[in-house]
Structure 1
């Protein structure tokens, strides 16, 4: 332990990079990967959980996204003031517009289109398909169990190839990109545990459920994407790169998930601004972090 306190991060990564997992949670996406990987996995930070209909004659609950809507209302005067402020900042920082010539610019252009436009002329995978929400289940052994666990026609399918009966039930939860492509007619509720740089806690989304959803998403990424099983995670350490918006209590809870629930042997916390500065070899820097919902200047 004393040795780990004395070495610098670059030396630690070079020695144990394959046994270090970097976790960078955000409002829209969570980035996770091994320290020696060039590009981490960038997964939508959301989870869709199956909602079971209530017993009796009550109507099934309506599906909803447990999140407060962002306040996007702005007056024309506010829009005009924002555009003027953007122009002033661009002129001070000497940022060329996208349609300006950059022949005399000594710095290479690394900007892309800001409207999120992508060319689909050469793409062949533009067909959209809904996520399959069913999975095979074992048939109850007795008639009593079968009556207590009736499966609707939407949940069961007949396999006519071998003359057998394959039964399907709804998956308990679906994470990542697949959760965003679930048909609105399916009995699922989409949740986002982090919004606007903080835990997305509300009366409809209690704190304990936020913790459970965070654990489920991260555990799924570690198992399905990084292929790190729970039994092997005591051989790994975690670097938790958190936004500056998180307070100490939220960071403490994230560490509890990493150490207690995900079962990493050790963990260290870095802030995004510090990681960006030191990652680029700078001792002093002004870091402008533009996220999906929060922009911070450090």
Structure 2
């Protein structure tokens, strides 16, 4: 789907007869320098001019200072990682799925034809239990205290755990993060998006907000979308941020255009969701659109569970804390792989910085855990550790009487229906 909306011009849907001496209106050419592309995600916001080689990437989160200290219902914090369910029955099923993947890996062959081998988990656990943190140095803590009323972007990850802030991620699982808690209404989420996008435009792109009327916006939206939410985002771009015009394009269509392909099956694995659809001649086919409620964040939680089973030497690591969640994501990115030629135990080391600035070096030993975690995307039973997963398809459009582009409205007011109604009145 692609939809262009102009903030300054209106179009007449009724055909008109050609008139003599009618002046021809010519559109001014689009200057790529004045086109801002916005791609919001569950974890990151990517934004940049159309001429930029790479977009600017910032953390798609905002923290607001709490105004009330005596009411618990005014406290809200969206976590960086999905929740970790430690149910006894569930963990037994997860362990069975882990053993199945492990046995499958042992039956695989390396590139030279030799069979892979696996180190007994007891041996890896024994090494990790003996591992002791090594104190490197102590410096001034980089954690942010209560300094500003609003903190946006990457600075949110540096907020001290005890600071008096509510933390919001406007998008979760590929949709607007609406919830019954504080800051969970549609108005509040749009207000957060306005603040984050304005910050990125002014601080990262060096564009003053008062000059956005001469800029055009390209908003990259999911392949499966909520029409009411998209309408609210268009209103945000045109009336609140005051862009001169905007253009909507689905992320899968944008991916095929970027790759120079007219047709492709696109699989997008994000932090909170995985989406699949087929694009043909620049159109995402509605019958092929699927959204799965898992992504890279769920893989990180699976990796943490696997590390715990081999006596993870970082004692007290808690994925619900921001600093530990960031550390686990980094360990996943640095250590995990899908290379069958890597087998057996390997020693890894990483640094841990506490909230008071103490930096410690931790050494651990890992085996096939680094391979099983990313393979959870193909063995989705392991992803149940973060809750029940759902599969979503393209939902039918809901009737919106105030939307001039609503499908029912266009069908009822089309030219053919108007002509039929007019001729019937003439006959009778």
Query: Which of these two proteins has the greater Rg computed from alpha carbons?
Result: 2
TM-score (ref. length: structure 2)? 0.45
| CA-CA distance at 1:64 after TM superposition | 3.6
Matches within 5 A, 1:1-298: 16-53=31-68, 58=70, 63-66=75-78, 70=82, 72-73=84-85, 74-77=90-93, 129-131=142-144, 133-134=146-147, 171-204=148-181, 205-298=184-277
CA contact (8 A) 2:68 2:74 kept: no
Distance 2:226 2:214 in 1: 29
**1:251 CA displacement:** 1.1
Cα displacement string for residues 177-220 of structure 1 (whole angstroms, at most 9, x for unaligned residues): 10121112222111111100111111112221111101010011
* 1:7-49 alpha-carbon deviations (Å, 9 max, x no partner): xxxxx9x951110000001111110011111111111110000
SS in 2 for 1:287: strand
Question: TM-score, normalised on structure 1?
Answer: 0.64
- Equivalent pair of 1:53/1:61 in contact (CA under 8 Å): no
Aligned partner of residue 286 in structure 1, secondary structure: strand
Using the alignment, how far apart are the partners of 1:291 and 1:127 within structure 2? 34
Name the one with the larger helix percent: 2
Cα deviation, 1:70-95, whole Å, max 9, x if unaligned, reads 3554555456558979999xxxxxxx
Unaligned runs of 5+ in 2: 1-5, 7-26, 113-138, 278-428
The DSSP-based 3-state class of the residue aligned with 1:21 is strand
* CA-atom RMSD in angstroms: 3.4
Per-residue deviation, 1:232: 0.8
Structure 1 unmatched ranges of 5 or more: 2-11, 89-95, 102-125, 135-170
What are the superposed Cα offsets for residues 254-273 of structure 1, whole Å, 9 maximum, x if unpaired? 11111111110000000010
Contact 1:63–1:184 (8 Å) recurs in 2: no
Change (3 A) 1:283 1:201: same
Structure 2 CA distance for aligned equivalents of residues 219 and 194 of structure 1 = 17
Partner residue of 2:13?
none
Question: What is the count of residue pairs matched by the alignment?
Answer: 217
Per mean C-alpha deviation after superposition, the further-off stretch among 240-249 and 283-292 is 240-249
Contact 1:47 1:173 in 2 (8 A): yes
